[in-house]
Chain A
Amino acid sequence: MQVPETFEYERASSVEEALDLLERHGEEARLIAGGHSLLPMMKIRLAFPEVLIDINDVPGLDQIRIEGDQLVIGAMVRHQQVLDSPLLYEHYPVFRDAEKVIADPLVRNRGTVGGSFCQADPAEDLSAGGAALGGSVVIRSKGGERVEPMRDFHVGPYETKVGPAEMLTEVRFPIRPGAGSAYEKVERRVGDWAVAAVGAFVQLDGDTIADVGIGLAAVGADHYIVPEAEEALRGKPATLEHLQAAAQLCHDNCAPTTDQRGPEDFKRHLAGELTLRALKRSIARARGEES
């Protein structure tokens, strides 16, 4: 029987209260939302917080909305909401692609966007998709609010910029008119973590790639990105030759390791191939050739 180590339980009904509780209980306190990353970690003693602060009653963090030229997703938005959101689909189908292959519907009913980003698992799909899009994260503390670039948010595996008495409240993505986006994943079986996965967006100016973002999951790419591949595409014509060159850069510059999900060379192959597919699909969507 897998049961977590003992802990104290608190329930917050506002962001302020959650921050108060975090401050009062110190570094060994953790927020819990869906709990679908934290509780499994606690069961196998990879995490043993002394206090859990339940934020499921905190209002106002479960919205998906447009603010100016930004698409804003609250930290308590559940995966299922992301999957079902017409607004997100309209601007970035990469979210629907990714959510379809994140765990299963029951897990998606509980797991949250904030939880996924804060877990900072190198194989997590939403984090790779978010890295592809860039954007920013909003972190609250009692002192106020700070905005960090999305691509700096993940400090390393399971480590983020969120400090002990802070919480992630929302993630923001710039709206890029006419951009196409996509997510491609290979998994051993439905709902599993990625063997490798790639998210991308492409913004076209005629046939030229005006802007592009690529995020890679599970292949050891720092901050989920390979900036060389993006640089190689910006300002270039959207031809197969250029896409293949970028895919090759992802193949060469990621750092996968051999594990139970596959050998290093296979994952490297996937990093290249899935980059190519995600870019092709993003371009097809930008051109309105694919929904």
Chain B
Amino acid sequence: MQVTMKVNGDEVTRDIEPRMLLVHFIRDELELTGTHWGCDTSNCGTCTVWVDGEAVKSCTTLAVMCGAREVHTVEGLAKGGELDPVQKGFMEEHGLQCGFCTPGMMMTAKWLLEKDPDPDEETIREAISGNLCRCTGYENIVRAIRWAAEHPADDTSEVTA
């Protein structure tokens, strides 16, 4: 069936099976492979994207359910060649090792900072509790998100548009 949604601000239309999961729609239909596909069981969180402003696991969301909704992926974080503070934070604080969990971590981090621009460590750890890092690099991930909180972009409306 035909489904139309906005992905990173652009309207996209595809003819898909209703059973197609959002993660496969994003990766295979739109070829936005920044969103990773991990456990398939809503445990690991590497497939985290935003649907209508909420961070969700795209392996447990049907693409058709996102018809007429707005999806944001990791590709939408940087604006006009400028990295988002969350991305800069992961660079500055070495928030990734193998990088597999990173897109999900960053989308969750960005969602957290939208709700709570100045989260403490406990809040950050709770927020990323649905994102697994098998390199166990959590210390640096927490620092990266704190870095982003301390270095907000000049115009935050631009990065969330």
Q: Which residues in A have some Cβ–Cβ distance to B below 8 Å?
A: 1-9, 11, 32, 35-36, 39-40, 43, 52, 54, 56, 103-107, 109-110, 190-191
Which residues of chain A are near B65, meaning CB under 8 Å? Answer: 32, 35, 54, 56
A106 touches B108 (CB 8 A): yes
| Given contacts A6-B19, A39-B62, A54-B65, A105 and B41 within 8 Å (CB-CB) | no
Q: Tell me if B60 and A105 are in contact (CB < 8 A).
A: no
Q: Chain B interface residue count: which class?
A: 20 to 34
The yes or no answer to B45 lying at the interface (CB within 8 A) is yes
Within 8 A of A (CB), among B50-108: 54-57, 60-62, 64-65, 67, 108
| A7 and B45 form a contact (CB under 8 A) | no
Contact B41 A9 (CB under 8 A): no
Known: A9-B62, A56-B65, A109-B56. Contact between A103 and B130, CB under 8 A?
Answer: yes
Task: Give bound CA distance, A5 to B62, whole Å.
Answer: 13
Would A107 and B64 count as touching, CB distance under 8 A? Answer: no
Whether A6 contacts B67 by the Cβ 8 Å rule is no
Complex CA gap A3/B18 in Å reads: 11
- A39 contact from B45, B55, B60, Cβ within 8 A: B60
Among residues of B, the one whose C-beta sits closest to the C-beta of A4 is B19
Partner of B41, one of A32, A40, A56: A40
CB distance from B143 to the nearest CB of A (A): 20
List A contacts of B55 (CB < 8 A): 105-106, 109
Seed contacts A3-B24, A35-B60; 19 additional CB < 8 Å A-B pairs: A2-B40, A3-B19, A3-B21, A7-B19, A11-B67, A32-B65, A35-B62, A36-B60, A39-B62, A40-B42, A43-B41, A56-B65, A105-B126, A105-B127, A106-B42, A106-B108, A109-B55, A110-B56, A191-B129
B37, closest chain A residue (CB)? A1
| Chain A residue at minimal CB-CB distance from B49 | A106
Kindly identify, within residues 15 to 41 of chain B, every residue whose CB is under 8 Å from any CB belonging to chain A: 17-21, 24, 40-41
Q: Tell me whether A106 and B130 are in contact in the complex, defined as CB-CB below 8 angstroms, given that A7-B19, A11-B67 are known contacts.
A: yes
- Report A46 CB to chain B, min CB distance, Å: 13
Task: Point out the residues of chain A lying under 8 angstroms from B54, CB to CB.
Answer: 109-110
Known: A104-B129, A106-B130. A6 touches B56 (CB 8 A): no
Assess whether A104 is in contact with B130, with CB atoms less than 8 Å apart.
Answer: yes
Residue of A whose beta carbon sits closest to that of B63: A9
Which residues of A have CB within 8 Å of B17?
Answer: 6
Which of chain B's residues has its CB closest to A103's CB? Answer: B130
User: Are A2 and B19 closer than 8 Å at their CB atoms?
Assistant: no
Q: Select one of A1, A9, A54, A105 contacting B130, CB under 8 A.
A: A105
B residues less than 8 Å from A6 (CB atoms): 17-19
Contact at A5–B108, with CB atoms within 8 Å? no
**Best-surrounded residue of A3, A6, A39, A190 (most CB of chain B within 10 A):** A39
A107 touches B57 (CB 8 A): yes
Q: Is the CB of B127 within 8 A of A9?
A: no
Complexed CA–CA distance, A105 and B54 (Å): 10
18 CB-based A-B contacts, threshold 8 Å: A4-B19, A5-B19, A6-B17, A6-B18, A7-B18, A7-B19, A9-B1, A35-B60, A35-B62, A40-B41, A43-B40, A52-B18, A54-B65, A106-B131, A107-B42, A109-B54, A110-B54, A191-B129
CA distance A39 to B63 in the complex (A): 12
Whether B42 and A36, one on each chain, are in contact in the complex, defined by CB atoms closer than 8 angstroms, is yes
Give, as a whole number of angstroms, the nearest-CB distance from A85 to chain B.
Answer: 15
Pick the most buried of A11, A43, A104, A110: most chain B CB atoms within 10 A of its CB.
Answer: A104
Closest to B64 in A: A9
Known: A35-B60, A104-B129, A105-B127. A9 touches B18 (CB 8 A): yes
Nearest-neighbour CB distance to chain B for A103, whole angstroms, equals 7
